[in-house]
Amino acid sequence: MPTQPTAASGASWIVHTAEDWERFAGPNWLSDIMTLSVTDRFHAKQGRSIGRWTLHNGSEIKTVYLKRHFVLPNHHARGAKLMPGRAWSPGLQEYEHLHWAKQAGIPVPKVAAVGERRGGPEGLQSFLAVEELAGMSALHEAIPAAARLLDAKSFADWKRTLFAEVARLTWELHRRGAYHQDLYLCHFYIRDADCERPPTNWLNNVAMIDFHRMKRTRLLGAWYQAKDLGQLLFSTEGVVGLGDDDRRMLLDPYRDHRGRNDTQPWCWLEAAAKKRAATNLATQRRRANGGAK
């Protein structure tokens, strides 16, 4: 990735862009990227924001989700000075995670642009622009849609085969020592058309998003597996069209992928995942009732 100086600020950027990015964003896009007003589907909290940004080049359109991180810990900024070869910001870290996942065969959104700004009065900052998964919906929305569009038997088969692919993708991460840490249904996407006309094979027809918290480690692997699976089970609660039998459809194929050679007994991992899901659900209900975090 090239390093680009930022005039008059004493800062420098580490930047990577897709080949067509400047045609849409314009030649001076970098100077405006952190101050640009993005209001579509905008959400901000704790020094970061995300919004949907539509760019035009004549009759061509490119839509991205722009994640920006304005306030980052001082020790990350110091780390960037001491070890400049590493990614120290969430934007650049997620870019690396997405690249790793793609190389591992996980369908992920295409990165349009990413940058990490170091130095200057703003301190360490970053952005990441990923292309919108056009014509696709997250599973927490797609599942109720399929429940409306399909007859009971077709819907049951649809869920069974879909969840087998969700379990496979999860195992593909875990067997490589990678853990998503935000493994909710809303971070799996399928084509809208597949809610009514399922593909003959879900392989490579389910995409995953939001890899900013992904962790790669061989230590405490069972704990991270339980955390991911617990989040996945928790995210099925309240989704129209899902019940207890469907949660089993998520766990059983994952168990089968693990096989008998995994050092951690499945009974322990299953129990730990269910306990994690129950804890998350209890916390959600307590917060909804005005309780403490």
Based on the domain organization, do 22 and 55 belong to the same domain?
A: yes
Based on the domain organization, do 157 and 81 belong to the same domain?
A: no
Based on the domain organization, do 45 and 143 belong to the same domain?
A: no
| Total count of domains within the chain | 2
Based on the domain organization, do 116 and 151 belong to the same domain?
A: no
Please report the pLDDT score of residue 258 as a whole number.
87
User: What would the 3-class secondary structure string for 14-25 be?
Assistant: EEEECCCHHHHH
CB-based contacts of 201, cutoff 8 Å, min separation 6:
none
**Residue 193 · residue 135 · CB < 8 Å:** yes
- Kind of pairing, strands 188-191 and 11-17? unpaired
pTM of the predicted structure, to 2 decimals: 0.92
Please report the pLDDT score of residue 122 as a whole number.
86
Domain region containing 69:
3-131
Based on the domain organization, do 143 and 218 belong to the same domain?
A: yes
Q: What is the DSSP string of 196-250?
A: TS--S--TT--EE---TT-EE-STTHHHHHHHHHHHHHHTTTT-TT--HHHHHHH
Strand order in the sheet with 3-6: 3-6, 11-17, 111-118, 125-131, 60-69, 48-57, 40-45
Tens digits of pLDDT across the chain (293 residues) = 454 544 335 689 999 999 999 999 999 999 999 999 999 999 999 999 999 999 999 999 999 999 999 999 999 989 998 999 999 999 999 999 999 999 999 999 999 999 999 988 889 999 999 999 999 999 999 999 999 999 999 999 999 999 999 999 999 999 999 999 999 999 999 999 999 998 999 999 999 999 999 999 988 889 999 999 999 999 999 999 999 899 999 999 999 998 765 667 899 999 999 999 999 999 999 888 887 65
What's the distance, CA 171 to chain centroid?
Answer: 16
Q: The CATH number of the domain where 191 resides is what?
A: 1.10.510.10
Based on the domain organization, do 276 and 144 belong to the same domain?
A: yes
